[in-house]
Amino acid sequence: MTRLARITLVSAAVAIAASTGFHVVKEVKVGGEGGWDYLTVDTEARRLYVSHGTRVNVVDLDSGAVVGEIADTPGVHGIAVAPALNRGFTSNGRANNVTIFDLKTLKSEGQVKTGENPDAIQFEPVSGRVFTFNGRSKDATAIDAKTGKVDGTIKLGGKPEFSAADGKGKIYVNIEDTSEVAEIDAKTLAVTKRYSLKPCDEPSGLAMDVKNRRIFSVCGNKLMMISDPDAGKVIGTVPIGDGADGAGFDPEKGVAFSSNGEGNLTVVGQKGGKWAVLETAKTQKGARTMAVDEKTHMVYLPAAEYGPAPAATAQNAHPRPAILPGSFKLVVMGQ
């Protein structure tokens, strides 16, 4: 074998090793009208809950079939599940409340008032509470998951975005307008720590490596910040795509994700002890949020087809194109 051939083979091997291989495996047609926000995987029950306008679409993760919906959830943003209680919870942004529903029948069991414009929602197992993070009132509402009663309100000092629980009684949430992460004690209902994510602007999506105590926050200025919540500081920064609104983490593979509305998925992992971009995989324009199925390692991203953008006006210089009716779907990424 010539020296040139050996160099070519080594270069090819490096290129293959540098690629994670994530690509579009399939698409799941959901249909219906309206926009979307967060989605939640129930790994054990093999269900995917997808916010969709005024309802939540429920998809069987194994068959890809739409198996039901949770209706009357106006402006729904997020979904949380408490399997041991057979209860699910939706944050209804336009109604300023939470819908409690039965995980088996998907029927509503009532609604609970929250702060203004509840966005992200999180079940915290140590306290047995559900927390909504309310964008307009800049606070969090704590609800007893068993009784459905409000236990208290936590002032956050800024507009909260996505959150994650560490399984030990703490919740971490991005504060969008101050570029911080706030730590909440789920039992005492108090903010126990906050730290800066600068140079991050407007952090939105957040994911957590619970075992290794790392938080991944995606930012409006095309950065992912990796932080140590115990030390309260950023320990790594990597570039991501534009329009990111969701983050994810696969604990078995040890990789984090950023879903970028420009039409790609940034895959982030460690190289030589430092966090780095492993791959940027093509998705679909507008696919800005995501969820990871830890059993199959598939990544699910809501998306749709769009019509032409309307003409700009003095009141709206950048009008959004309309979603084509019936085009709502899930883009499924895998290796």
Domains and CATH numbers, the chain: 36-307+319-334 (2.130.10.10)
User: Which pLDDT band holds residue 321 (cuts at 50, 70, 90)?
Assistant: confident
Q: Is the pLDDT of residue 183 over 60?
A: yes
Give 56-63's long-range contacts (Cβ < 8 A, gap of 24+): 56/90, 57/30, 57/32, 58/106, 59/28, 59/30, 59/330, 61/293, 61/295, 61/296, 61/298
User: Which pLDDT band holds residue 10 (cuts at 50, 70, 90)?
Assistant: very low
Which pLDDT tens digit goes with each residue over 292-316? 999 999 999 999 999 888 888 888 8
Q: Is the pLDDT of residue 13 over 80?
A: no
* Contacting residues for 53 by C-beta, under 8 A, at least 6 apart: 32, 33, 34, 35, 36, 76
- In this prediction the pTM is 0.92
The answer to whether 85 and 100 are in contact (CB under 8 A) is no
Structure token digits, residue 36: 């979307």
Which pLDDT tens digit goes with each residue over 163-178? 999 999 999 999 999 9
pLDDT of residue 319: 83
pLDDT of residue 152: 98
Distances from the Cα of 326 to the Cα of 24, 154, 252, angstroms: 20, 39, 35
pLDDT of residue 18: 53
Please, what sign has the CA dihedral across residues 253, 163, 204, 287? positive
Q: How many CA atoms lie within 13 A of 136 on its CB side?
A: 10
Q: What are phi and psi of 248, to 5 degrees?
A: -150, 165
Report the C-alpha gap between 331 and 284 in whole angstroms.
8
Which pLDDT tens digit goes with each residue over 36-80? 999 999 999 999 999 999 999 999 999 999 999 999 999 999 999
Which parts of the chain fold into alpha helices (H)? 3-18
* Contacting residues for 16 by C-beta, under 8 A, at least 6 apart: none
Q: How many CB atoms lie within 10 A of CB 59?
A: 22
Strand pairing report for 329-334 and 23-29: antiparallel
User: Which pLDDT band holds residue 3 (cuts at 50, 70, 90)?
Assistant: very low
